[in-house]
Amino acid sequence: MIVGGSMAAVKAPSVLRRLREGGVQVNVIATRAALAFVTELSLSTAADGPVGTDAAWFSPRPDALHLALARADAAVIVGASAELLAGAAHGHANDLALATLLSVQGPVLWVPAMNNAMWNNRAVGANVARLREWGHHFLGPAVGAFGTRGEGAGIGRMAEPETIAAAVLELLKPTAPRDLDGLHVVVSAGPTREYLDPVRFISNPSSGKMGFAVAEDARDRGARVTLVTGPVNLPEPHGLEVVRIGAALELRDAVIRAAQTADIVVMTAAVADYRAAELKGEKQAKVAGDVSVHLTPNPDILAELGQNKGGRVLVGFAMETHAGVERAAAKAARKNADFILLNYPTQAGTAFGGDDNQVTLVRADGTFEDWPRTSKREVARRLLDEALRVRAQRTAD
Ligand code: CTP
């Protein structure tokens, strides 16, 4: 645990105690600024061990302290300041905390605490985005009173000690099984854009989060992953091949090409069913009165994959407002998909844009399972579990 120079540093001993209660052995580092807010004595008492300080780093010793401390399974930065974020985002190593962070191999969790004006500053935002892109995790800051005088109610307040401890324990859980090793997984995500003229298009509010979650889970389980995505506002995932597309026809070409070597194809993309019959080369000026646009159907990619299925497992998604299970089962049968995850566009906090999802697994034979509402990542995990079951079943038959 690294404790940063923030008012929230006073909560660090409480986080330390909770982690120790959770059975975690914690080495603690305090930056010079942190020691202005919390004493070395209270940190070492809570950690039941010495505190790594810059003074200790520079005292003669047989090993390099930053390397010894970096042999941790995970790092958490409590009361992460703008300064620490900037240092880490730019590879600085001018104090023990930053030098250790440069050497840590395990996951890194930042728990920022700073005034909301600072947190919302573009420089801080850019540093956070950079660290996220490198796979660092972030917890908070939460919305709430910040500082002793409650100044700047808004973003800025650090997550509570129990939340931080729970997040660290989650990071330390055994890593995902490598049960997709050697498999190629193709995932489509996000919306398509069907241009009518050079500046106007038909699209939908798909965020791409579900597809990205499937791609990332497959990657973490050892698969080679091709993620074909429409325009979305999500950080670039690392360690997988990302193919960016616009229109459904481009999505089709990219998915069909990637699917040639695929073992599992998951179609989460919200494909526009229609495109303009004629794409106007020039911007269409407005005219008096009504206008109509002639639309023509897009190819159904999942159905096309289903016609030439080979040994692949095919998974679709569907959104229904009524008769969900029957319609989804009919869809799975029609498209020759192994199963479809049905979700409900009208549920708050799920499906379009949300971080959670509540889905029903529907097979072509009409059998179904309601899954509990959970994170999209957890839905992704269960989806891939089911795809592996289908694959094993097919090999057994
Ligand atoms: N899909 C596809 N190609 C399309 C349209 C959809 O591959 N042109 C895929 C989606 O990625 C999703 C599933 O098919 O996995 C959804 O089926 P779809 O028929 O689009 O569902 P709805 O649009 O809900 O169908 P309908 O409007 O007919 O109810």
Taking only the tens place, the pLDDT of each residue in 320-340 is 888 789 999 999 999 999 999
Digit-coded pLDDT (tens) for 188-213: 999 999 999 999 999 999 999 999 99
pLDDT in the model for residue 43: 97
What does the angle CA 217 – CA 220 – CA 223 come to, to the nearest 5 degrees?
Answer: 90
Digit-coded pLDDT (tens) for 83-112: 999 999 999 999 999 999 999 988 999 999
Please check whether residues 192 and 247 belong to one and the same domain: yes
Give the count of domains, the chain: 2
pLDDT band at 351 (very low <50, low <70, confident <90, very high): low
pLDDT in the model for residue 153: 53
pLDDT in the model for residue 95: 96
Q: Is residue 149 part of a domain?
A: yes
Q: What is the CA(326)–ligand 1 centre distance, in A?
A: 15
pLDDT band at 395 (very low <50, low <70, confident <90, very high): confident
Q: Does 43 carry a binding-site annotation?
A: no
Q: What is the CA(241)–ligand 1 centre distance, in A?
A: 24
Q: What is the spatial distance between Cα 263 and Cα 265, in angstroms, rounded to a whole number? A: 7
Probe target for ligand 1 pocket from 186, 194, 300, with the most ligand atoms within 8 Å of CB: 300
Please check whether residues 361 and 387 belong to one and the same domain: yes
Please check whether residues 218 and 151 belong to one and the same domain: no
Q: Is residue 251 part of a domain?
A: yes
Using a 6 Å cutoff on CB, does residue 269 contact ligand 1? Answer: yes
Q: Would the pTM of this model clear 0.85, i.e. be above it? A: no
What is the token pair recorded at 243?
């193919």
Q: What is the CA(259)–ligand 1 centre distance, in A?
A: 18
Residue 144 has pLDDT above 70, yes or no: no
Q: Among residues 136, 171, 206, which one ends one of the domains? A: 171
Active-site residue (options: 204, 233, 298, 357)? 204
Using a 6 Å cutoff on CB, does residue 316 contact ligand 1? Answer: yes
CA-nearest residue for atom 22, ligand 1, is 318
Q: What is the CA(332)–ligand 1 centre distance, in A?
A: 10
Instruction: Supply the mean pLDDT for the chain.
Output: 92
The SS3 of residue 277 is coil
pLDDT in the model for residue 350: 59
Please check whether residues 278 and 333 belong to one and the same domain: yes
The SS3 of residue 150 is coil
Q: Is residue 141 part of a domain?
A: yes
Q: Does 173 carry a binding-site annotation?
A: no
Using a 6 Å cutoff on CB, does residue 317 contact ligand 1? Answer: yes
Please check whether residues 205 and 164 belong to one and the same domain: no
CA-nearest residue for atom 4, ligand 1, is 300
Q: What is the spatial distance between Cα 397 and Cα 392, in angstroms, rounded to a whole number? A: 9
- The mean pLDDT of 280-296, rounded to a whole number, is 94
Q: What is the spatial distance between Cα 253 and Cα 223, in angstroms, rounded to a whole number? A: 22
Q: What is the CA(250)–ligand 1 centre distance, in A?
A: 16
- 65 compared with 322, residue with greater pLDDT: 65
Q: Among residues 149, 171, 193, which one ends one of the domains? A: 171
Residue 149 has pLDDT above 60, yes or no: no
pLDDT in the model for residue 40: 97
- The mean pLDDT of 270-295, rounded to a whole number, is 95
Name every residue whose Cβ is closer than 8 Å to that of residue 144 and which is 6 or more positions away in sequence. 153, 157
Q: Is residue 89 part of a domain?
A: yes
Name every residue whose Cβ is closer than 8 Å to that of residue 33 and which is 6 or more positions away in sequence. 4, 5, 6, 81, 83
Strand partners, 112: 80
Q: What is the spatial distance between Cα 119 and Cα 246, in angstroms, rounded to a whole number? A: 33
Q: Among residues 171, 201, 218, which one ends one of the domains? A: 171
DSSP result, 173-237: SPPPP-TTTT-EEEEEESB--EEEETTEEE-----SHHHHHHHHHHHHTT-EEEEEE-S--SPPP
pLDDT cut 70: percent of the chain above it: 94
Q: Is residue 365 part of a domain?
A: yes
- 344 compared with 392, residue with greater pLDDT: 392
Q: Does 263 carry a binding-site annotation?
A: no
Please check whether residues 209 and 150 belong to one and the same domain: no
Using a 6 Å cutoff on CB, does residue 331 contact ligand 1? Answer: yes
pLDDT in the model for residue 60: 85
Please check whether residues 252 and 384 belong to one and the same domain: yes
Q: Does 317 carry a binding-site annotation?
A: yes
Please check whether residues 115 and 262 belong to one and the same domain: no
Please check whether residues 224 and 121 belong to one and the same domain: no
Please check whether residues 238 and 337 belong to one and the same domain: yes
Q: Does 286 carry a binding-site annotation?
A: no
The SS3 of residue 114 is coil
Which ligand 1 atom sits closest to the C-alpha of 269? 11
Please check whether residues 249 and 157 belong to one and the same domain: no
CATH number of the domain bearing residue 224: 3.40.50.10300
CATH number of the domain bearing residue 105: 3.40.50.1950
Determine how β-strand 154-157 pairs with β-strand 184-189: unpaired
Handedness of CA 215, 219, 222, 224 (dihedral sign): positive
Burial 246-279 (b: 16+ CB within 10 A, else e): bbbebbbebbbebbeebbbbbbbbbbbeebbeee
Digit-coded pLDDT (tens) for 239-253: 899 999 999 999 999
Please check whether residues 200 and 320 belong to one and the same domain: yes
Residue 380 has pLDDT above 60, yes or no: yes
Q: Is residue 196 part of a domain?
A: yes
Q: Is residue 177 part of a domain?
A: no
Using a 6 Å cutoff on CB, does residue 314 contact ligand 1? Answer: no
Q: Does 280 carry a binding-site annotation?
A: no
AA identity, residue 256: I
Whether 204 is a known active-site residue: answer yes
Q: Is residue 280 part of a domain?
A: yes
Q: Is the distance from CB of 193 to CB of 199 less than 8 angstroms?
A: no
pLDDT in the model for residue 197: 96
User: Which domain, by its residues, includes 287?
Assistant: 184-396
Using a 6 Å cutoff on CB, does residue 339 contact ligand 1? Answer: no
pLDDT in the model for residue 115: 83
- 121 compared with 140, residue with greater pLDDT: 121
Using a 6 Å cutoff on CB, does residue 319 contact ligand 1? Answer: yes
